[in-house]
Amino acid sequence: MTEPLLSIEGLVTQFDTPDGTVRAVDGVSYDVYPGETVGVVGESGSGKSVTVMSVLGLIPQPPGRIAEGRVLLEGNDLLTFSNAQLRKVRGKDIAMIFQDPMTSLNPVLTVGSQIAEAIETHAPDLEDDAIRKRVVDLLALVDVPNPDDRFDQYPHEYSGGMRQRAMIAMAIANEPKILIADEPTTALDVTIQAQVLEVLKRAQDETNAGTILITHDLGVIAEMADRVVVMYGGRVVETGTVEEIFHSPRHPYTLGLLSSLPRPDTDLERLEPIPGQPPSLITLPSGCAFHPRCRLGNNRERCQFETPELIELGAGRRTACHFHDEMDEQVRLIEQATGAQIEIETEADDT
Amino acid sequence: MLNYALRRFLISIPIILIATFIIFWMISLTGDPLQDMRQLPNITTEQIQRVRDMRGLDDPFYVQYVVWLQQIPTAGFGEYLISPRPIGPDLQRVLIHTLQLVIAAEVIAFIIAVVLGTLSATRQYSIFDYTTTTLSFIGYAMPAFWFALILQVIVIQIFELTGVRILPLANLSSANPGTGLAFVWDRILHLVLPVMSLAIFSIASYSRYMRASMLEVVGSDYVRTARAKGLREGTITRRHAMRNALIPTVTVAALSFGTLLSGSIVVETVFGLDGMGRYLFVMIQSRDPYPIMAVLVITAVVIIMFNLIADLVYGYLDPRIRHG
Amino acid sequence: MADTSPHDGPGASGAQGLPPGESMHDSSGQPATAYSDGTEITARSQWQMFRRKFFRHKLAMGSLIFLAVVVVAAINAETVAPHAYDDINVQMASSPPTFEDMHFFGTDQLGRDYFSRVLFGTRTSLSVASIVAVLATVIGTTVGAIAGFYRGWLDAILMRLTDLMIILPALVILLVAAALLGQGQPTRIGIILGLVLWPTLARIVRGVFLSLREKEFVQAARASGAGDLRIMFRHMIPNTIGPIVVNMTLVLASAIIIEATLAFLGLGVNPPTPALGRLIDEGRSAMRTSWWLIVMPGMALVAIALAINFIGDGLRDALDPTQRER
């Protein structure tokens, strides 16, 4: 592969809370290459959103603080950028799509003007007519019907899916190098989700942006991602290509996520849910943060006391499990117990 | 939108009727409205009885009330009890004066409050924020009449020390106010202290609302979106945050217009202004029911009108209301 | 109609009532951030939580102590005051504030000690305000509770009354009422003010009751056959106590200011009983020479009203379950 567009290296983001300092992101590293989609999976509180917010400098400071690490965009460390420099990156080189389209658009401004604003900020010399034309084209690209009329409408006149597509249009308005989509379909109806993903894919093709797709929905990952980063308790616990992750997970948490997918093909609603609750960052378990919920670890001493390092298994294939070599056995056990296959179809399998 | 405003107006009519009825009843409870007249020298019992008969003062109060209502379409607000002069011209004069005072105070208070609230919210926990917040608490706890007197004391002390009269202490105009622009300037100078006294409470109140709603808006998703677009903080505050934060503040300002009107009673008394509040105060003491009723009705109508204007502003600021 | 009109907004409280939202002392009021998932707070009784939070609220605690001192001093004005409020002493006439002869607030043209007069005036103000607060709270809670619980005609009347209060400002009504009915003893003024100032609380209680009515524990009580009164007193009123108490402080503060305003206009308590508002009015005649006659009583007034507002603010913070302990 070529050089990565974006490299996150050892990022640590902390928050000061009344109960002490919390490491919401604890030494996270991953790369994004041109044109690829990196899926970031994890439960809420796993630090997946905080990571990308840190990249753009959107963490409220205080109480937040980026304590360590580097974020290299084509070799330049964004964390050393001034506010003015960062502003030139936001919305231009790196654009973002947020979770809730209902609240992410300003209710008192027209949708068109909000997209136009994104263009105007980064190209102040452009004529108003040219901007408007560009916005209308963008709205058409994301399947907003009658884009010329819709330009002058307010967010409340758009449907939920349409709003999210408008957000996508806004994000790609300046042909960003990196597109970050933070749970872009979570707030939407299932029927709308597919359309939005479709539009997202088209937008990405259009701009050839490297994409970070944050979601807790493995179905979305299977559909969209090339590579996958699994996060838990503020750390990366497994990385790999989408086939590797889905066919031979190397971390029990990933396996847990796969087994807890709804399975219409079997009698069971899901194969094997993960027991327990996602951890509170304030009282993160010692050793491997996942150990209280881990069937593989089974409360072995090493899991309780020794924090596993993220170790390299192959090119781009990493895991943070002391007992990753027992994973094949574990997969077989679950498959035997439930009589179903763990792996689910990914986009890559079709092609 | 207009429909809604019209409906609001119509709903207010019965409320005004009930209010005037209650007030009329209360006035009737207090005994003889001709008390002052009896004090006059050279007045005979027959003359007094003639007035009583003419104005139906011996009828039950509800009959008097109906009589009052019936004469409104033809005679407007009627005549004074003691002298047969129409109330209308006086009312018009004092109303204009009061509106000058109150509208100036409302507009100035609103602008200052929006600026203070916005700056405080965007600099949360700064020294500026703590200072304005503390001052707004004091503004809350301070009676308007006392603040007005303190302003007078300050102006007087400046005069004692330096011999300079920086501002007029009383009245609406000088003895020879001149005409045209000179008159206007003279009026403005005379209104400076009254407007300050009246506005202080509103500044305190509105700026608290503005700060609170700005804080809410600043943490909203669409402000984050704006930031992610690479907009400057100034643009975000002006274009995205303030406009949304203004919506609740406008509502509060409109609903508090009545508070300002009642504040004007006190301020007009302190500064000796020929306004509606002082007029009401004087009329209450003479127990003349018609002018009191007239002031109440006018007050209600002014407040309702102001609320209608606020509704329109509201609709302008919030497209969801406009289309809803 | 009234249920959807913007009149129901926070501003409808008119002259009284602090705006909602951020209080000035919320050092913990950081914007919510991504870490907000499930922080366990060890279960502590609500009362303990309340006490802890209130006692840590420095301004509120300071204000409480200040107010307690003022109340005790005012009740015992006869013994605390260095002079009688109507003691004339021509030798000391028009003296600025001084420690000499303990004229801390100066004297008027007759040499009467203004500190003593202010202390007695404070007693009048506080007694009027307490009557107002108790009366407004009792009426407001009762009407609000019944309106929120049964809806129906009382509810309709309450909402119309709220509309009325918006188009006819409280002070105008009070002016008419006080001038026509109220002049005289403190009790009378207090009752009149109380009768005018209750609707704000009634509306707040109504709102809480409306939402409580649908809560599971109320439904459960109803299902287990509890009577209306029992449901109201055992289940609903205790859950409304926070807003009631906070509103009571607000009524107290605004009653003090309104009473002073009426007294200033000559509509308050009859002379010779000193009232803060009238003391200020009396000072006007000597404004050029004796500024302290205006400044001192007013400072006392503002200090008391401010202290009550701070206490209310502390109560609000302490009672707010969404705000975490610092």
What does C77-121 look like in DSSP terms, one character per residue?
HHHHSSS-TT---GGGTTPPS-SGGG-TT-B-TT--BHHHHHHHH
Tens of pLDDT, residues B261-291: 888 989 999 999 999 988 988 888 777 888 8
Mean pLDDT of A298-314: 81
User: Within 10 A of C75 (CB to CB), how many other CB atoms are there?
Assistant: 14
For chain C, residues with pLDDT lower than 50 are 1-43, 323-326
For the ranges A260-269, B2-11, B229-238, the maximum mean pLDDT occurs at B229-238
Distance from CA of C263 to the nearest CA of B (A): 11
Contact B27 C5 (CB under 8 A): no
Q: Report yes or no: B238 at the A interface, CB cutoff 8 Å.
A: no
Confidence band for B324, pLDDT divided at 50, 70 and 90: low
Instruction: Please give the pLDDT value at position A345.
Output: 59
Measure CB to CB from residue A104 to each of B221, B232, B235 and give the nearest one: B221
Query: Quick check: B44 pLDDT over 90?
Result: no
Contact C287 B157 (CB under 8 A): no
Contact assessment for residue B317 and residue B250, using Cβ atoms and an 8 Å cutoff: yes
**If you ran DSSP here, which 8-state letter would residue C74 be given?**
H
Distance from CA of C3 to the nearest CA of A (A): 23
User: Nearest-CA neighbor of B139 among B225, B197, B94?
Assistant: B197
Instruction: Please give the pLDDT value at position A263.
Output: 67
Instruction: Please give the pLDDT value at position C31.
Output: 35
For the ranges A37-46, B12-21, B57-66, B171-180, the maximum mean pLDDT occurs at A37-46
Instruction: Please give the pLDDT value at position C2.
Output: 33
Chains that touch A (3 or more CB pairs under 8 A): B, C
Residue of C nearest to B302 (CA): C167
Instruction: Please give the pLDDT value at position B110.
Output: 95
Q: Report yes or no: B222 at the A interface, CB cutoff 8 Å.
A: yes
Residue A171, SS3 per DSSP = helix
Mean pLDDT of A55-67: 83
Contact assessment for residue A39 and residue A225, using Cβ atoms and an 8 Å cutoff: yes
Query: Quick check: B103 pLDDT over 90?
Result: yes
Give percent of chain B with pLDDT exceeding 90. 28
Pick the more confident residue, B157 or B79: B157
Query: Quick check: B34 pLDDT over 60?
Result: yes
Instruction: Please give the pLDDT value at position A196.
Output: 84
Confidence band for A199, pLDDT divided at 50, 70 and 90: confident
Contact assessment for residue C243 and residue C315, using Cβ atoms and an 8 Å cutoff: no
Confidence band for A264, pLDDT divided at 50, 70 and 90: low
Instruction: Please give the pLDDT value at position A5.
Output: 87
Instruction: Please give the pLDDT value at position C29.
Output: 35
Distance from CA of A120 to the nearest CA of B (A): 10
User: Within 10 A of B11 (CB to CB), how many other CB atoms are there?
Assistant: 15
For the ranges A327-341, B189-203, B257-271, C85-99, the maximum mean pLDDT occurs at B189-203
Contact A45 C35 (CB under 8 A): yes
Residue C21, SS3 per DSSP = coil
- What span, in angstroms and rounded, lies between the C-alpha atoms of A36 and A41? 16
Provide φ and ψ at A86, rounded to 5°.
-60, -40
Q: Report yes or no: B26 at the C interface, CB cutoff 8 Å.
A: yes
Find the helix or strand (DSSP H, E) in which B37 lies.
helix B35-39
Pick the more confident residue, B255 or A179: A179
**If you ran DSSP here, which 8-state letter would residue A270 be given?**
B
A298 contacts: CB under 8 Å, gap ≥ 6:
none
Residue of A nearest to B124 (CA): A62
Confidence band for B203, pLDDT divided at 50, 70 and 90: very high
Instruction: Please give the pLDDT value at position A344.
Output: 59
Query: Quick check: B83 pLDDT over 80?
Result: no
Q: Report yes or no: A281 at the C interface, CB cutoff 8 Å.
A: yes
- What span, in angstroms and rounded, lies between the C-alpha atoms of C57 and C101? 38
Confidence band for B45, pLDDT divided at 50, 70 and 90: confident
Instruction: Please give the pLDDT value at position A115.
Output: 92
**Least confident stretch, A71-75, B106-110, B259-263, B307-311:** B307-311
**If you ran DSSP here, which 8-state letter would residue A100 be given?**
-
Residue A235, SS3 per DSSP = strand
Instruction: Please give the pLDDT value at position B273.
Output: 92
Instruction: Please give the pLDDT value at position C21.
Output: 37
Q: Report yes or no: A259 at the B interface, CB cutoff 8 Å.
A: no
Distance from CA of B222 to the nearest CA of A (A): 4
Q: How far is CA A279 from CA A26, A51, A308, A321, in A?
A: 14, 18, 17, 17
Instruction: Please give the pLDDT value at position C11.
Output: 32
Pick the more confident residue, B181 or B7: B181
Instruction: Please give the pLDDT value at position B291.
Output: 87
Query: Quick check: B19 pLDDT over 90?
Result: no
Instruction: Look up the pTM and report it.
Output: 0.82
Give percent of chain B with pLDDT exceeding 70. 95
Mean confidence (pLDDT) of chain A? 83
Instruction: Please give the pLDDT value at position B113.
Output: 94
**Least confident stretch, A245-249, A344-348, B26-30, C271-275:** A344-348
Contact assessment for residue A235 and residue A43, using Cβ atoms and an 8 Å cutoff: no
Contact assessment for residue B226 and residue B236, using Cβ atoms and an 8 Å cutoff: yes
CB-count exposure of residue C271 (10 Å: 0-12, 13-18, 19+): exposed
Query: Quick check: B205 pLDDT over 50?
Result: yes
Chains that touch B (3 or more CB pairs under 8 A): A, C
Instruction: Please give the pLDDT value at position A40.
Output: 92
Instruction: Please give the pLDDT value at position C214.
Output: 79
Instruction: Please give the pLDDT value at position B122.
Output: 87
- What span, in angstroms and rounded, lies between the C-alpha atoms of A51 and A8? 9
Distance from CA of A47 to the nearest CA of C (A): 8
